[in-house]
Each structure stands twice: as C-alpha cells, then as structure tokens.
C-alpha cells in the first residue's frame, strides 16, 4: 500500500492483500486505511488479507534491547528522514516508540507478545512481520538474541 486512501481502495479493488508498514507515528492512525480497505473489499465481494509490518529487536530486557538496537535503527531512520524531510531521531523518541503504543517492536519477548496482541485488537490482521535487520545491526548481535 502506498499510504494513501486511494492506495487502500486500489488494493481492495484488485483483490490483493493489504500490507501496512508502520515505521512511525501511532499505530492506531493506520486503522483508517485498514477500515477503508475492508469496506471496499466487502462491497466488491472480495476477501481481505492484512499484514502489519514493523521494525524490531528482541533481547532479555527492554534496556538491553534499546541499547543494542537504538544506534542501528537511528542510523537507518535518520537516513530515510534526510530523504523525507524528517528531523533526526532522538533517544527519547526511540524509547517512546518501544512502548505499547509506539511503532517499534523492541523489548523482551513478553513485551513483544503484548504489543502484537495490542495491535491485533486495533487491526484484526492476519499476519505480522517484524524486520530485525534494520540499519547496521551485525549478524552477531542478531544471532545472540
């Protein structure tokens, strides 16, 4: 999906699955696109299939997960931000993004499960995809988790 109402409608029109990449902002603001997609698909007699996709990192504790993942995710988001006119990511912004209502799935296994279930209540999606290899995280850091 291209992140516009028109793209959600077009996705439903062509009877395709909807993939939403949530990399910033509050997740609930994307519900409008899911609702529009479902409404259009149902009107056309099509099935709906929805995937929510986010960045993340899992460690034993939230503190450890933030320490390891922040530099790599900041690097990548600042690079994207330069292209899109966003301000550089601060540590405070990143830490908020790891909370239940934030966009990044960074934390302990229990916190990640809680966040997946929280977003399921919003979207009732069929699939969740977490992108672990964001930015400059080394294979060793990814493998140790």
- Of the candidate CATH numbers 3.20.20.30, 3.40.50.620, 3.40.50.1000, 3.40.140.10, the domain formed by 5-134 belongs to 3.20.20.30
pLDDT at 133: 76
Please give the chain's pLDDT, 145 residues, in tens.
668 999 999 999 999 999 999 988 899 999 999 999 999 999 999 999 999 999 999 999 999 999 999 999 999 889 988 998 989 999 999 999 999 999 999 999 999 999 999 999 999 999 999 998 776 776 777 766 5
Q: H/E/C letters for each residue in 75-144?
A: HHHHHHHHHHCCCCCCHHHHHHHCCCCCCCEEECHHHHHHHHHHHHHHHCCCEEEEECCCCCCCHHHHHC
pLDDT at 80: 87
Q: Are the CB atoms for 114 and 26 separated by under 8 Å?
A: no
Coil vs helix vs strand at 1? coil
Closest CA to 1 of 15, 18, 13, 14: 18
Q: Which residues pair with 130 in a beta bridge?
A: 54
Domain positions in the chain: 5-134
């Amino acid at each position: 999906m291209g992140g516009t109402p028109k793209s959600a409608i077009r996705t439903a029109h062509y009877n395709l699955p909807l993939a939403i990449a949530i990399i910033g902002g509050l997740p609930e603001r994307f519900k409008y696109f899911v609702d529009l997609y479902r409404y259009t698909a149902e009107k056309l007699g099509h099935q709906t299939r929805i995937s929510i996709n986010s960045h993340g990192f899992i460690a034993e504790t939230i503190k450890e997960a933030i320490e390891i993942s922040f530099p790599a995710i900041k690097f990548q988001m600042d690079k994207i931000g330069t292209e899109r006119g966003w301000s550089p990511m601060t540590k405070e912004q990143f830490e908020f993004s790891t909370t239940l209502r934030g966009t990044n799935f960074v934390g302990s296994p229990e916190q990640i499960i809680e966040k997946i279930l929280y977003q399921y209540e919003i979207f009732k999606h069929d699939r969740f995809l977490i992108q672990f290899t964001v930015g400059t995280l080394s294979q060793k850091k990814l493998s140790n988790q």
